Chain A
Amino acid sequence: MDEAPEPHDDELVARTQAGDPEAFDDLVVRYSPRLYGLIYNMTSNHEDTNDLLQEVFAKAYRSIKGFRGKSSFYTWMHSIAVNMTINFIKKRGRRHAMSLDDLDAGIHNDPDFIDATTGGDPRDDANLSELQQRLNEALQKLSHEHRAVVTMFDIQGMPHAEIAKILGISEGTVRSRLFYAHRQLQNYLQEFIKH
């Protein structure tokens, strides 16, 4: 027998607004992996990401009765996550230590990884670890506005229009920030690009 189709976000939001906390649990399950990726790639720290993600959902739960659906729930949630993460990064300042997640084993078969590690054995853990370290260091050197755009576009694969809505800026600004961020990243990641 086929499983019932997953309820749409709007339905879960309406049920939450009507006082059904389990509906919000479904939204947490649905959005936590995606928002985790967004926050993690902006902070490069697993523990900070965990705490921030808890706060993001707590804030969303407190505010959901005021959500009127002018934007999609997806956009609304991402806006909360990005704004809270940027505020956190501003407060954190320069005192920052990276706490990186493990890499999924699937990376060994990714052609982009093999291409990036040409010259060495792509299965070499030292290569892998160095690449991960350098990528995160390079991201942390970007301003928080540039990092947010790069995370959403390059890592999470969001379209420009969606990023513009989340950040409340024009698509042109998104493209411009991406352009400058990529230029900086090219400098930081020279050794993985020039071969």
Chain B
Amino acid sequence: MDEDLKVSKLLRLKRYEQPPPGYFDDFLHEFQRRQRAEALRQPSWAALWERIASIAPTFRVPQFAYAAILILAGGASALILTQQPAGRLAGADDSRTSFSLTASRPVTITDTLPVSARTGGALPSHYVLQSRPVSNEQPLSF
């Protein structure tokens, strides 16, 4: 007999290897139990993602749509970047171009008092120009 055929006949005998009786009934129950356990263990976001992933192939999205979305996203990014202030982009000297909310020295309560209060009651010296108000001047008369 052809040896190739003999090998085939021997291999066919492996069909007689069978799992224990009742195995397939138990198998279904075990499958259902695992599915329930899996569903309980799965976080809600994962369940949602899985649902989206499973129906995603059904979306009728034209092939070029992905490229169009990519180009639009790239364009938008470029537009945002070009509208930034030049100093910010170039990393210019911050001491000259940027504002700071922090003062060079701490602000104290005396800064907000009237001037007379800051000097211990005495008014600061002031100067009076030697002149009279215009309204007090004598009218020109010749």
Contact = CB atoms under 8 A, between A and B. Distances in A.
B19 A101 contact: yes
A64 B15 CA distance: 29
Nearest to B24: A32
B137 interface: no
Interface in A163-179: none
B31 to A, nearest CB: 6
Contact of B54 (A53, A63, A186): A63
Given A101-B19, A102-B20, A186-B3, A155 B38 contact: no
B54 A50 contact: no
B68 to A, nearest CB: 24
Contact of B9 (A46, A62, A107, A112): A112
Given A54-B30, A102-B17, A193 B7 contact: yes
A179 B54 CA distance: 40
A136 B32 CA distance: 31
A58 B55 CA distance: 17
A106 B16 contact: yes
A25 B17 CA distance: 25
Contacts of B14: 41, 135-136, 139, 155
A68 to B, nearest CB: 7
B57 interface: yes
A150 B13 CA distance: 13
Given A50-B27, A112-B10, A58 B16 contact: no
By secondary structure, the B interface counts as helix
By secondary structure, the A interface counts as helix
Contact of B35 (A61, A66, A186): A61
A182 interface: yes
B9 A116 contact: yes
Contacts of A185: 7, 10-11
Interface in B14-51: 14-20, 24, 27-28, 30-32, 34-35, 38, 50
B105 interface: no
A186 B6 CA distance: 9
Given A65-B54, A107-B16, A155 B11 contact: yes
Interface residues of A, number: 49
A66 B57 contact: yes
A116 B55 contact: no
A29 interface: yes
A151 to B, nearest CB: 8
B3 A193 contact: yes
Interface in A68-115: 68, 100-104, 106-107, 110, 112-113, 115
B101 to A, nearest CB: 55
Interface in A151-166: 154-155
A53 B30 CA distance: 11
Given A57-B31, A66-B54, A186 B4 contact: yes
A180 to B, nearest CB: 12
Contacts of B3: 186, 193
Interface in A33-74: 33, 36-37, 40-41, 46, 50, 53-54, 57-58, 61-66, 68
